[in-house]
Amino acid sequence: MKVGVVTFPGTLDDVDAARAIRLGGHEAVSLWHGDHDLKGVDAVVLPGGFSYGDYLRCGAISRFAPVMTEVVAAANGGLPVLGICNGFQILCESHLLPGALIRNDHMKFVCRDQRLRIENTSTPWTSAYSHGAEITIALKNGEGGFVADEATLDMLEAEGRVVARYLDVNPNGSMRDIAGVTNERGNVVGLMPHPEHAVEELTGSGTDGLGFFTSFLEQAASV
């Protein structure tokens, strides 16, 4: 399967995401922010970084990049899309996901190995995990606090759309300890921590993040 990795000016985890995709058994396809087509990919990853320097708001300028016109249309048509950290912010700014990401409640950048609980295994990005699986992957953000109004939070909970939740400590003040969410259809996932940094034993916190990149292969094989 071909998985596109979008690079915006300021993106810095695109190479890591591409490597994780290859380790997950896929072909990584580079997509540039100025592209007007998705090159026939089967899924898209919006990686972490500081797109357009995080000016205005994180992800607010990226939302208007030419490639995002194609991503939004394809996602609305069912294409699997994963937004990691800055990519999560871009998905919220693009209204593909509800809520928003704001400055960490302690007003400092945080970088740590973070424990999570996987709460939704029905998405193309999480089907390799068992429900309730506890994993440890890297977290690094300055504006990672997930916020939404109470009605939206209740809706996400009721519909099982919280994909992952922080364990042990809430590192950024995210409401209800939410680390990741999915859209109503389940094909679009936003995750604040970085699974692409936990795909090899040699580096990082182990291989707990690899499931985000093998899930799509397993789900595609079952179709």
Residues marked as catalytic: 85, 194, 196
Cβ neighbours, 10 Å, residue 22: 14
Residues 100, 50: Cα–Cα separation, whole Å? 16
Q: Which two tokens stand for residue 207?
A: 């291989």
Q: Which two tokens stand for residue 61?
A: 């300028």
Rounded (5°) CA angle 143-8-50: 25
Among 185, 194, 193, 195, which residue's Cα sits nearest to residue 215? 195
| Pair 190, 88: CB distance under 8 Å | yes
Among 133, 156, 146, 141, which residue's Cα sits nearest to residue 210? 133
Distant-in-sequence contacts of 96-99, Cβ < 8 A, 24+ apart: 96/72, 96/183, 96/188, 97/181, 97/182, 97/183, 97/188, 97/190, 98/148, 98/152, 98/155, 98/156, 98/181, 99/146, 99/147, 99/148, 99/152, 99/156, 99/181
Which residues does residue 101 pair with via DSSP β-bridges, in sequence order? 146
Q: Which residue in this structure is represented by tokens 């016109």?
A: 69
